[in-house]
Chains A and B, each alone.
Chain A
Amino acid sequence: MAAVTETRVALRHRLAERGIDRQLLLLGPALLFVVTLFVYPFFYGIGLSFQPEQGGPFGAYRSFFADAYERGTLTTTLWLSLPVALLNVGASVPIAYRMRGRFRGKRLLTTVLVVPITLGTVLTAQGLLNFLGPTGWFNRTLMSLHVIDEPVRLTHNYWGVFFSLVITGFPFAFLLVLSYLSGIDPTLEKAAATLGAGWAQRFRRITLPLLAPGLATTFCLTFVLAFSVFPSAVLVGDPAGETRVISIAAWHAGYEQYDYPKASAIAVVMGLVELVVIAAVLGWRSLLYTGSTGGKG
């Protein structure tokens, strides 16, 4: 009896040594949520994608890749999301670099930038339809300035979706880059200056290498946002043609054809392609220095 209690105590002690005790039960509810609402549906979806009504286990995938109209959604989506993500990150760097210090109105600026993110793509789409439309203010301004004679068509095509992704994605990328930049100890640049580095050298040799991992992360996040574009592709795009992105295909399969295996298969393909892009970027990132960026080390 005593021996049993002793081993039990010893076991508990040994577990506690490794950091396992009853306090970990506090993790339970959250874990339960993630497993039942995220992990399980995910695997269920993968399972479902291999059980189409016809065509064997790979039937759903085959029907997606065999059909050029469906297969084309992949390139359409990448052709939208990669340039948008590059533009958003690329434009953010010089702007954030100029604004990394403190200045009056910085909080106001960041606040205004948050607005399009919180409004979301649906409202942005509605605004773009009004603003960029053939009789909208944008075309009117250009015509009255005699830059153009005919209204430029900027909605219900590739460019409408592109702009909507820039409007919501740029502030997102900018705010991320800005906070990565402010995480870099400013004395490092001062130190480089006292060692004789001009501003271009300071940026290229010190700031950029320290910022690069953050840029990779930002690129991934903006890419994910753009890759999963859905409402604006329907509303300001050309959802049957030029901007038939992969989420439209998935939604179409699931909710208009009620072909859940195919919808799941498309979701799986979508997830995989996205993971490949992210893995490529993060793989490149792992080659970079990713430790502390200054401060107390």
Chain B
Amino acid sequence: MSKFQQLRLEGVTRRFGGQDALVDLDLTIERGEFIALLGPSGCGKSTALNCLAGLLPLTAGRIWQDDTRLDTLLPEKRGFGMVFQNYALFPHLTVWKNIAFGLQMRRLPGAEIRRRTDEAIALVHLEEQARKLPGQLSGGQQQRVAIARAVVLEPSLVLMDEPLSNLDAKLRLEMRTEIRRLHQALGLTTVYVTHDQEEALSMADRLVVLRGGRVQQIGTPEQLHTQPANRHVADFMGFRNLLPMKVVTTGVSTVVEGGGLTLQGTPVGDVHPGDEVVAGVRPESLRIAEDGFPATVEVVEYQGREVAVEAVTDAGQRLHLRAADRPAPGDKVRLAVDPAALLLFPAGGAH
């Protein structure tokens, strides 16, 4: 299959009867990248994937593969592989025939079909199951068949639509590693749709966060993790404490107050004294410290090496934090946060 250098989406838009499902998606995918489309359900990530696959026509915009225009091509002419959420295995064909299907569509010689299918089966460790029907396999095995069927064609791009969402937690972790391994071993370019931020952060080279059909942020896992562009991305990236506050001073340090607290933080974008902001901080950035503000421990959850604590400030603001030692419910504690870890997002700003 012809490998491309770059795949460009330009202003890709899709409307369903007046409803914007995806608005103006601009994205350049480099060869060999692993891109995750991340967002809550209904954010447009699956729409984006289906547009890319050619299963949905675009309302506006273009898709380019180097200098070839792709968005006018039928799905079967694009040469992409796709793994569907419910796997979409052909129930009347054996595992072997499912995987060989795409090769047969290319009318390759029989010997080559046999060789490549066998290789693909070995790649996902399904030699024992090759003659079985999909209905006789476990969820994890079906998942492997779906992946093998998509990659056996050595597609220029592999699209995956929440492929792990039907698996249990343990299997999901295993398959995550497996998919990443295949991506590297076969030198694939992958676009991966998920609503699980942890999955996206651990697998992808770059993430695209979508909300309401609009791109919120595109960046590496580190960028998204440490510098979310707005409070929605922050919410998605594990900033569990989002406090409505008001800016007091700006300049060398930005001070905000609200809910009986006065804190120093780092603004994201332009803020001015008097502005309403949302102050976001991760549970792991809140620490118990002598010089902090007072709070009362309410709930303590044991989580292995540390405990998750829910505490309430004197003004009634609920906060999530992590602690190494184990406080008891009802304990009075003092909490502090590093100004660099307290991000201040303009309130109500989605963009």
Check if A and B associate.
yes
The interface of chain A, by Cβ under 8 A from chain B, is 185, 187-188, 190-198, 201, 205-206, 209-210, 288-289, 291-297
**CA of A199 to CA of B153, assembled, Å:** 19
What would be 12 A-B contacts, judged by CB atoms less than 8 Å apart? A185-B86, A188-B91, A191-B89, A193-B76, A194-B81, A195-B102, A195-B153, A196-B102, A289-B92, A289-B133, A291-B133, A294-B91
Set of chain A residues within 8 Å of B81, measured between Cβ atoms: 194-195
Of A192, A198, A291, the residue contacting B91 (CB under 8 A) is A291
A198 touching B76 by the CB < 8 A rule? yes
| A206 in contact with B55 given A187-B84, A291-B133 (CB within 8 Å) | no
B101 is contacted by which of A205, A288, A292 (Cβ under 8 Å)?
A205
A194 partner, pick from B76, B86, B92, B135, beta carbons under 8 A:
B76
- Contact A193:B88 (CB < 8 A) given known A297-B134, A297-B142: no
A195 x B91 contact (CB < 8 A) = no
Chain B residues within an 8 Å CB radius of A288: 92
> Closest A-chain residue to B133, C-beta based?
A291
* B79 contacts partner chain A, Cβ-Cβ < 8 Å: yes
- Give the nearest-CB partner of B99 in chain A: A195
> Nearest Cβ in chain A — how far from B149, in angstroms?
7
**Contact between B79 and A196, CB atoms less than 8 A apart:** yes
Given contacts A196-B79, A205-B101, contact A292 B55 (CB under 8 A): no
With contact pairs A209-B92, A291-B133 given, residues A193 and B55 touching in the complex (Cβ less than 8 Å): yes
A159 to chain B, nearest CB (A): 39
Once the chains bind, are A292 and B135 in contact (CB under 8 Å)? yes
Asked, given contacts A291-B91, A293-B91, A294-B91, whether A191 binds B84 with beta carbons under 8 Å apart, the answer is: yes
What is the total number of residues of chain B having a CB less than 8 Å from a CB of chain A?
32
Q: Which residues of B contact A190 (CB under 8 A)?
A: 53, 55, 75, 82, 84, 88
Beta-carbon contact of B80 and A210 below 8 Å: no
Indicate whether B289 reaches chain A with its CB closer than 8 angstroms.
no
The CA of A196 and the CA of B75, in the complex, are separated in Å by 7
Asked if A201 and B105 sit within 8 Å, CB to CB, the answer is yes
Given the known inter-chain contacts A194-B53, A195-B101, please indicate yes or no for A188 contacting B134, CB distance below 8 A.
no
B90 at the interface (CB under 8 A from A): yes
Shortest C-beta distance, A279 to chain B (Å), equals: 23
Q: How long is the Cα–Cα vector from A292 to B89 in the complex, in angstroms?
A: 11
Q: Are B80 and A296 in contact (CB under 8 A)?
A: no
**Nearest CB in chain A: distance from B87 CB, A:** 8
Question: Is there contact, CB below 8 Å, between A187 and B88?
Answer: yes
Please, how many angstroms separate the alpha-carbon atoms of A196 and B150 in the complex?
Answer: 11
A288 to chain B, nearest CB (A): 8
Instruction: Determine how close the nearest CB of chain B comes to the CB of A196; give it in whole angstroms.
Output: 4
Residue B60 at the chain A interface, CB threshold 8 Å: no
Residue B167, interface by CB 8 Å: no
B55 touches A195 (CB 8 A): no
Q: Is the CB of B91 within 8 A of A191?
A: no
CA distance A194 to B76 in the complex (A): 5
Contacts of A289 in B (CB 8 A): 91-92, 133
Alpha-carbon distance A56/B186, docked complex (angstroms):
81
Contact indicator A292/B91 (Cβ below 8 Å) = yes
Cα–Cα, bound, A294→B134 (Å)? 10
